[in-house]
Every structure is written in C-alpha cells, then in structure tokens.
Structure 1
Amino acid sequence: MPAEKNTTTPPVTAFILVKTTPEWLAMTPQERVDAFTTQVIPAIKAKTTGVRSRFYDTEFYSARVTDVWVWEADDHEAYQLLIDALRETPFWDRYFEIVDLLVGTENGYARTYGLAPVASVTA
C-alpha cells in the first residue's frame, strides 16, 4: 500500500565529518565548551532558526575523521544559513578541519516513489 503523500518539506540532515586540529586539542574541556557556547551558538542564532545538532566522537575508530556533527535543519534555507554561520566561526577550518559534508533527507526514496519507509526494528 502506498504511503500517504507528505505535504510538508522534510528536514535536511547534514553529517559534517571533521578532524580536530592541534589548536582545539590544546584547549581544556571547559575551554572547548566555552568556545562552542560563546562563538558558535551566538553566530547560529544571529543567522538562522530551526536547526538542531548532535555530536559523535569517532576518534576511537578513525584517524581521518575524529568527530561527526549531525545537524538537522527545517529546510534548505535554514541549512544554508547554518553553514554560512559556521564558516564565520573558528570551528570551521581552525578548530576543526572539514573533511566532508554528507547532506540528505530521511526516507527521500519513500517520498519520491510514494512508498512507506523501510526501517529495521528491534525489540
């Protein structure tokens, strides 16, 4: 049975793969938190709304990518404004080297073909 047509724009999800720089690693953990709350958050709030973030440490398993920033934006404009804001902070290519940007929308294939999303479920 085809899925009901989605009439809202799906959120844009960006997986930003980064590598820490020596400058970032030289900071104490508290200095890192302070840098994020005083340099990144205000820049984002000044440029856009409708964005959320999560952060994943990957340095235990990868030498090329030490962290993955997952940003979700309400739409493409909010995402573009987010990237503009991040680029104006030291987090972009000073504290972190941007390795790659992977951007997509969840279950895009299902919306394109009018199908129900397929996902695994565990009990």
Structure 2
Amino acid sequence: MPVEATKTPVTAFMLVKTTPEWLALTVQERVEAFTTQVVPTIKSRTSGVRSRFYDTEFYSTRVTDIWVWEADDHAAYQLLIDALRETPFWDRYFEVVDLLVGTENGYARTYGVEPVTTINT
C-alpha cells in the first residue's frame, strides 16, 4: 500500500547540553529569557508545534535536557528549527548535541498495517 498523501506528524527528540552562560542566569532570568526570546519567535514563525521538556542532568553529563518537539508536518518542523536557530537558545544557551527525528508508526502507514503497540487504545 502506498504512503498516505496526508500530512505526517513529526516528533523530534532534541538532545541538548546547557552552556555556562545559561547556568549563570538565575531561575527567573532563565524563565524570562525563554518566554521573551524563544517562545515569541517560535509563535511568530510557525504553527502546529508543541513541546515537552525533560531534565536528564541527574543521569547524564553529555546531555542535560531532552526537548521533545511535535510538529503537525515536516514543513512545521523545518520552520521550528529555523526559528530556534535565530534565538539565543541555539548554541548560546544550549549546545544541540543531537536531533533524533521520526514519525510515529511510520512503518504502519507505509505498509498499511496496524501499529504494534503496548498502549491500549
């Protein structure tokens, strides 16, 4: 069965490491930097993206945080990355260690089969 012609949601696991500049900010300054410098840029440049944040510095020295970005489609994801690169987030406050990007159950769409999952739907 051919791949669906509809939009395919994209999930990106962005593995980042905090920089000394970010750590030098107070908690309030960090919140302000994110809400005034990062969020408005994302909102003005793209739509259809959501994010969740996970702290990993307790368990890893190479990656201190994982940011999970969900985008409605590949175009929204590309606009998100372009927007982030124009903020202090990218390579100033955080070093982007790796990007792991995929589509949930892509194989199921490609082959026209039900996804194998342990989640009850």
Specify if TM > 0.5.
Answer: yes
User: Taking structure 2 as the reference length, what is the TM-score of the superposition?
Assistant: 0.92
How much does 1:10 deviate? 2.4
SS at the partner of 1:19? strand
Paired position in structure 1 for 2:85: 87
User: Taking structure 1 as the reference length, what is the TM-score of the superposition?
Assistant: 0.90
How much does 1:20 deviate? 0.3
Paired position in structure 1 for 2:34: 36
Q: Report the number of matched residues.
A: 119
- Structure 1's unaligned 5+ residue stretches are none
**What is the CA RMSD across the aligned residues, in angstroms?**
1.7
SS at the partner of 1:31? helix
- After superposition, residues 25-64 of structure 1 pair within 5 angstroms as 25-64=23-62
Structure 1 position 77 matched with structure 2 position 75:
yes
> Aligned equivalents of 1:30 and 1:118: distance in 2?
43
SS at the partner of 2:33? helix
- After superposition, residues 16-27 of structure 1 pair within 5 angstroms as 16-27=14-25
> Aligned equivalents of 2:72 and 2:119: distance in 1?
26
> Partner letter of residue 88 of structure 2?
P
> Aligned equivalents of 1:10 and 1:76: distance in 2?
7
> Aligned equivalents of 2:117 and 2:20: distance in 1?
39
> Aligned equivalents of 1:121 and 1:51: distance in 2?
23
> Aligned equivalents of 2:56 and 2:72: distance in 1?
26
- Structure 2's unaligned 5+ residue stretches are none
How much does 1:9 deviate? 2.0
Measured against aligned partners, the alpha-carbon deviations of 1:15-54 in whole angstroms (never above 9, x if no partner) come to: 1100000111111111111111000111111111111000
> Partner letter of residue 29 of structure 1?
V
How much does 1:6 deviate? 5.7
